[in-house]
Amino acid sequence: MARTAELRAEGRDIVSFGAGEPDFPTPANIRAAGARAIEEGRTRYTAVAGVIELRRAITAAYASRWDLAYAPNDVVVTCGAKQALFNALLALLDPGDRVLVPAPYWVSYPEMVKAAGGTPVIVPCRHDDGFRLRPDTLRRLGKGARVLLFNGISNPTGAVHDRGEIAAIAEVARELDLAVVSDEIYENLVYDGADSAAFAAVSADARSRAILVSGVSKTYAMTGWRIGWAAGPSDVIGAMRKLQGQSTSNACSISQWAALEALSGPQDEILAMVVEFQRRRDRMLQLLRAIPGIDVETPGGAFYVMPRVDGFFGRRDGVDDCMSLAAGLLDEAGVAVVPGAPFGAPEHVRLSYACSMEDIERGVQRLASYLSEL
């Protein structure tokens, strides 16, 4: 991304498929709620766990959608979902505790585990199996682990686990007595009628051991507002609240009131955004599948595709892996993709379709031309 910025500053036309955030503006009603909070003077410290109105809205959302009964004290509002993940791991782990991390994974997961004193244990998920975590693999590698760090709608792959698959994973978590930190930040960005579910919603036992992490950044195009949350067992949430009280204290007060409007206000723009993302996904898949040598699964959610490209490695000197392939695409073709190695998927690259249809058309054409010349 830094190299992309440099080239653009030099006047190069770069099509970027690197974005990890929606390209839509925050809806007007949410922006207005933030401005109104400023004018009303809601600019002081809040409770460490977040304003009670927002926590009630979060519990109401879980009750309405998943029939999950959380009290406001079972919720802590954080400075983005990333802080919720960090605080959960800090609360749960003792030094050396093993944490199961399905791969491909978001690049921060193993580093978060290590920062919290834990030991990441990578659990491979296969490309030809849609990158979904399988119970037998989890059972085989999970003995003696403390935590499963689960991402049911995945960044970087876009893989979606359906309710039955989550229930099977939850059963293995019960067998192995795992705490589950479930990153559900893409929970509303699913396509083709996918039947996903909150991890805690699949059984009473799953509810007792899961910490659900989500936020407003992806669903409501609010990445810069920095509001996430965690919901789960009161003892774990209480420990996370204590940690937050000694680190950042409350999340931004203005952003909390905007997030309240996001959850409680009209959802029409959000539904339209999902429809548009699916349209872009379908077009990107169509174009990629027309390129000889590209192997790509259909992602069911988020806004990423992760084609396998290792068949192109070694066709030209200096293009030996996903890192050098991505560098060549950027420098020679003016297309920015994210190499898969930092995600634990060195045979792949990640493309985001959080960009215009025009960029998808231009960018994939450039990608096809570059690969055909290798």
- Which residues, in sequence order, are CB contacts of 44 under 8 Å at separation 6+? 253
Assign 2 a pLDDT band (cuts: 50, 70, 90). Answer: confident
Assign 1 a pLDDT band (cuts: 50, 70, 90). Answer: confident
State the pLDDT at residue 73. 97
Assign 80 a pLDDT band (cuts: 50, 70, 90). Answer: very high
Cβ neighbours of 14 (radius 10 Å) = 20
Q: How many residues does the chain have?
A: 374
Give CA–CA dist 285/308, Å, rounded.
13
State the pLDDT at residue 352. 98
| CATH class entry, domain 30-264 | alpha beta
Fold entry, domain 2-25+269-372: Aspartate Aminotransferase, domain 1 (3.90.1150)
Cβ neighbours of 187 (radius 10 Å) = 21
Residue range 3-12, pLDDT digits in tens? 898 999 999 9
Tokens of residue 3, six digits: 């190299």
Sheet strand arrangement including 304-305:
304-305, 349-352, 338-339
Cα 133-136-142 angle, rounded to 5 deg: 80
Residue range 232-270, pLDDT digits in tens? 999 999 999 999 999 999 999 999 999 999 999 999 999
Report yes or no: 165 and 131 within 8 Å, Cβ to Cβ: no
State the pLDDT at residue 69. 97
Q: Taking all residues of the chain, what is their mean pLDDT, rounded to a whole number?
A: 97
Residue 280 CA, distance from chain mean position: 18
pTM score: 0.96
- Least Cα distance to 206 among 238, 172, 240, 160 occurs for 172
Domain ranges of the chain: 2-25+269-372, 30-264
pLDDT at 186 over 90: yes
- Least Cα distance to 182 among 141, 211, 140 occurs for 211
User: What is the maximum alpha-carbon separation in the chain?
Assistant: 62
Give CA–CA dist 148/180, Å, rounded.
5
Residue range 327-341, pLDDT digits in tens? 999 999 999 999 999
pLDDT at 112 over 90: yes
pLDDT at 229 over 90: yes
